Amino acid sequence: MKEVLIIYYSQTGQLFDILKNIASTISVEKVNISYCEILPKKKFPFPWKLEEFYGAFPETFLQIPTPLEAIPSEILQKKYDLVILGYTTWYLTPSIPINSFLKSEEAKLLLANTPVITVSASRNMWIMAQEKVKKLLVANNAKLVGNIALVDRNMNHISVITIVHWLMGGKKTKMLGIFPKPGVSDKDIDAASRFGVPIKEALLQNEYSNLQQNLLEVGAVKIDPSLIATDIRGNVVFTKWANYLIKKEGEERKKWLVYFKYYLLFAIWLIAPIVFIVFLLTYIPMYRKIQRDKAYYSSVALKQD
């Protein structure tokens, strides 16, 4: 009997639906699937309030762990043949609960010498968050063998509007009845079951060397090269903001978080389009690098610093 553990934190429920659909085609008589929801002791609200949403930025980006509820002993006492790690992206970084888990002693126990498949659901930028997850998996002596990244397929600025409607309103509905539904589409969520087929084959054969390529062939990762530079540049700027904000307390912190909110709006609506234009202008001379980047970020490899 093969033992599979699905570890996740799904604030809205979208990611959990994706994971269940993937599991539906892994589950056979020879496979037992267990679920482990990561629960922070201090709950993150959903829907978000604006102050709490922006207030989570410094700790999220700086990957500062928060205390978690204990993982059940029956989970910790079992050795798993495969772990599927489901996470969402907050501020170009894995969410606080998942980051906290990956920095815990329980993660070392569950992930050491174990094949891991990451599954993420995000608005559009997930590449640098995945790089951070890769490093944390290495620190836990885990072996990343597959990655599935599902995103909102709508235009960047449309998805900005609709995700705010969802996160602040709490309902995944069409804003004003005319905008597309936010997040990963229902079609993509339902179709996530196709990823379970190559995962099941790799699991039963205990052979993962070709898994990521097989996942790519069924659309597990779609790299938008125009967002790579935006993600990287965003991490540089966020580092400065987060290191400054983490030192502020009380009303001073609240004041500077308001400034950060306006900077974020400025970056999304004005800086990001400029970065996109620069990408288009440099596409031909940078073509080979772009293709190398696409190949790397589609893979499960980790660059050596």
Burial of 231 (0-12, 13-18, 19+ CB in 10 A): buried
pLDDT at 79 over 80: yes
pLDDT in tens, 114-124: 999 999 999 99
Backbone angle region of 208, left / alpha / beta, with phi > 0 → left and psi within -120 to 50 → alpha: alpha
pLDDT in tens, 162-191: 999 999 999 999 888 888 999 999 999 999
pLDDT at 305 over 70: no
Cα three-residue angle 19-9-268, rounded to 5 degrees: 100
pTM: 0.95
Number of C-beta neighbours around residue 166 at 10 A: 21
Residue 300: pLDDT band (50, 70, 90) is very high
What gap in Å lies between CA 150 and CA 185, rounded to an integer? 9
The domains of the chain, with CATH numbers, are: 2-227+293-298 (3.40.50.360)
Q: What share of the chain is helix, strand, coil (3-state, %, to 5)?
A: 55, 15, 35
Cα three-residue angle 17-23-27, rounded to 5 degrees: 150
Mean pLDDT of the chain: 95
